[in-house]
Structures are given as structure tokens and as C-alpha cells.
Copies of this chain bind each other. A is one copy, B any other.
Amino acid sequence: MKKYKVAVVGASGAVGREVLNTLASRQFPFESLRLFSSARSAGKAVQVGAADFELEELKDDESFKGLDVVFFTSGSSVSEKHAFRAAKAGALVIDNASVFRMRPDVPLVVPEVNGATLELARGTRVVANPNCTTAQMVMALKPLHDRFRVRRVILASYQAVSGKGQKGIDEFERQVKQYARGEKLTVEAFPHPIAFNALPHIDVFQGDGFTGEEQKVMNETRKILGDESIRVVATCVRVPVVNCHSESVTIETERPVTPEQAREALRSFPGVKLLDDPATNAYPLATNVSGKDDVYVGRIRRDPSLPDGAHGLTFWVVGDNLRKGAALNAVQIAEAAVQRGLI
């Protein structure tokens, strides 16, 4: 079996570490593994599977020569500086940042949904990994879109602090302790206290009143589903949950759909788990889905606010934002690239 020379940029961050764990747990066939980080973390050892690897500083003149796959997990400024340089040096770049996602020459890939668009990366050698909130939502939308044609999506999200990376988790845990001790909550990573709050503000506000996060969901959903006619509106909210994003999703469809037909469609879709039994209080929950690869869907109901009640649904989607929303999907892109002979 062929083995690959792999690198992870941002290897000490929350997503980077999860990429490393996922490479190990899914036994991605790497021949070598380089771990890039900021100067601050360089020199530290990181365990991946059974072996130890040392973090090395990513320098401005890093050549990336000889690498087959490079995962970028450090955010847009690092990706802007290095991703296309790594691609030009011959690597396939799988980029978790948002900066290239909407470029027409960069595929934006959730393998189960639009794996075939990976072919586009034969040109640029850069593949974008979607926004976490979007990735889990399109997993639920795809089988419904195929059968019933989704025309409109209304999303309200309940997003975990881990979506802000390790500094989001640290800030939340510090605030919980401060609260327990009756101290004033200090704020650094989020715009306001996140402990015991619901913050309708993720990423930066844009001119139209939407946040960057909301715009990502609205634009990326269309691109991944390959249908520019789908209309999307999103409200993205940070909640005091450590890991896993939850989503209240309301859709309108072209063809009539019943909850039972939707359940059938979702049941047979790879990577989706149906958990929808109100009689036993069974529905997806952030605390239960954390650490799982699948995206969970439940609470599927007919939408009584539609004129005939037949052309739409409302439901609840929960996914691990560090896994399907980030690291797992990135590694699945690499696996799909291997299958397609892209690397």
C-alpha cells in the first residue's frame, strides 16, 4: 500500500490535535508526519498513535517540498500566507480556514455530499474544509434535497465553545469557576461572557447585520449542495456547551414530504444517525454526540406554519464540531483524495 508524507499546520490547536488523533485512529497511511506550530509551541512533543512527534515552528520560508498532503488548521491568515505555496510545491492542501472556501476553483467538500467535486482540485491542489455549522447541516440536508428538493433553509444554531478553539474552551471553564466562586467573569476570547449566556454573535459583523459565521452557512450550504437556488437564512448563537453544535433547522421543499419519508431518507445516508423517538425522550444531545463521528438528526416534525403543511419540515441536528465539523471531515477528504488518485 502506498504511504504518504503528511504535514499538519496548527498541530497544537484544538482542530490540529483532533486531525492528528483522527489520522491515527483511522490509520491513515502516512510514511512521515510533520507537525507545524507557532514558535511558542515549537519543540514540544505530541503523541500521535503510539509514536511521539516534535512540533516545529512554521517559518515564512518553509518550503513544503516533498509533502503529499498538508492540513491547514491555523485560521485564515496562516492559510493565506502558506496554503497556495504548499500546493505549488506539490502537496494536496486541505484547508480548514474560511478564506478560500468560496473560490470557484477551490472545491468545498463534504465527501458523503459532494465528494465528486474533489476533481476540481486537480487544478489548484487546494481543497477547502467547510465551516463546522454548515458541514453537519448539509449532512442532514443532502438526502432530503435529493428526494424532496430543498428550496429554503432557516437555521438557528446552538454552538459550542470548542468552535472557538482551545482558547474558547479555556475561557468558558475559567468563567464557570469564577461563577462558582462568586467572582466577576473576565472576558477575552468572546465578545461578552459565555458562561450562562446565549451570545448571538460568532465571527465578525458584516455590513448587512449578519455575522461572518451566518454568511458562511448561507453561502457554503449552496456551494456544497451544488444548487445556487437554495435560499438560506441563519442565526448563529454561541451557548454554554463545551463541544458539539446543535441546530434547529426548518426547511421548505419543492416536493411534498412527510416526517416518516424524511426518516427513511436520513436512515440510509452514510454518516447520519437517526435518533427520533420522543416516547423514550430520545433525540440528539450535545453531551451524547461529543466524540462521535456521525451527525445525529431527530425531532423531525411536519411544519404547521406552511400553508398545506406538506412541503417542509422542522428538525434538530447535532454534530461534533471538532470531528465532522472539522478534523474528521478533513481526514475524510484526504481519504477520498487517495481513492480518486489525487495523491
Contacts and interface: CB of A to CB of B under 8 A. Distances in A.
Interface of A: 152-154, 156, 158, 176-177, 179-180, 191-193, 196-201, 205, 208-210, 218, 231-233, 235, 237, 239-242, 246, 248, 250, 259, 278-279, 281, 283, 285-287, 298-307, 314, 316
Given A246-B198, A287-B196, A316-B200, A301 B240 contact: no
A26 B222 CA distance: 52
A200 B299 contact: yes
30 contacts: A152-B305, A153-B305, A154-B250, A156-B156, A156-B235, A156-B248, A158-B198, A176-B176, A176-B179, A191-B281, A193-B287, A196-B286, A198-B239, A198-B246, A198-B286, A200-B248, A201-B281, A205-B279, A208-B302, A209-B299, A210-B301, A218-B304, A231-B304, A231-B307, A233-B250, A233-B303, A235-B299, A237-B246, A239-B240, A240-B240
Which residue, of A231, A233, A285, has the highest number of chain B Cβ atoms within 10 A? A233
A237 to B, nearest CB: 7
Contacts of A156: 156, 235, 248
A231 B306 CA distance: 7
A209 B153 contact: no
Contacts of A205: 278-279
Interface of A is mostly: mixed
A273 to B, nearest CB: 16
A198 B285 contact: yes
Given A176-B180, A233-B314, A237-B246, 11 more contacts: A176-B176, A196-B242, A198-B241, A198-B246, A200-B298, A201-B283, A209-B299, A231-B306, A235-B316, A239-B241, A240-B240
A224 to B, nearest CB: 17
Given A180-B180, A240-B240, A197 B314 contact: no
Question: 3 smallest A-B Cβ distances: which pairs?
Answer: A156-B156, A231-B305, A156-B248
Contact of A233 (B242, B300, B305): B305
Contacts of A302: 208-209
Which residue, of A210, A246, A283, A304, has the highest number of chain B Cβ atoms within 10 A? A304
A36 B139 CA distance: 53
